[in-house]
Amino acid sequence: MTATDESLVDYLAKHPVFSGLTQQQLRSIASFASQSEVGPGHRLFRRDDDATHFFLVLRGSVSVEVPSIDEDPLKIQTVRDGSLLGWSWLIPPYRWSFDARAETATSLLAFDGEKLRMAGESDPKLGYQLLKRFAVLMAERLNAARMAAMRNYAGA
């Protein structure tokens, strides 16, 4: 599946986060995608680094973590096939809030966040739809962080 492939547009149209967008909006989003394969242990991003992309996990699993100074990182959640990863590209100052590391061999689509933000500025309907849809992801990730912190505290 490549960014110019109509199958990517079809895939996005069926994805829960992107369903309901117009074909033009889906083609625009797809045009900012690139596919990559990473191995187990590969860091997709680190907390406080520039957030330039978001990812869609096609196949595999990725651990979302909070770094720790004196222990192993605290795992927030594991995302798998079909999951979106990353919302920090959308909210200034565009810095990652968490770490992400592939747990298994993983196939991903990376979407250029800067180009997508510019597309959202040019098409406010697209920008609003993306903001609404990624707000759900933000809430889910922050709730998972809260739950992981509570489990960690209870086990301490």
Residue 141 placed within a domain: yes
Q: How many CB atoms lie within 10 A of CB 112?
A: 19
User: Within a domain: residue 60?
Assistant: yes
Does 28 map to a domain?
Answer: no
In this prediction the pTM is 0.87
Q: Is residue 48 part of a domain?
A: yes
The model's pLDDT over 71-116, given as tens digits with 9 standing for 90+, comes to: 788 888 899 999 999 989 999 999 998 899 999 999 999 999 999 9
Confirm whether 17 is domain-assigned: no
Q: Which domain holds residue 46?
A: 35-147
CATH number at residue 113: 2.60.120.10
Cis check: omega of the bond before 93, within 30 degrees of 0: yes
Read off φ and ψ for residue 126, nearest 5 degrees. -65, -45
Question: 142 lies in a domain?
Answer: yes
Higher-scoring residue by pLDDT: 74, 46: 46
The mean predicted confidence, pLDDT, of the chain is: 90
* Domain contains 27: no
Say if strands 61-66 and 99-102 run parallel, antiparallel, or are unpaired.
Answer: antiparallel
Q: Are 106 and 38 in contact (CB under 8 A)?
A: yes
Q: With respect to residue 81, please indicate whether it lies within any of the assigned structural domains.
A: yes
Q: What is the pLDDT of residue 63?
A: 96
> Under 8 Å CB-to-CB from 129, ≥6 apart: which residues?
20, 21, 25
| Interatomic CA distance for residues 97 and 29, integer angstroms | 23
What is the number of domains present in the chain?
Answer: 1
Q: Coil, helix or strand for 17?
A: coil
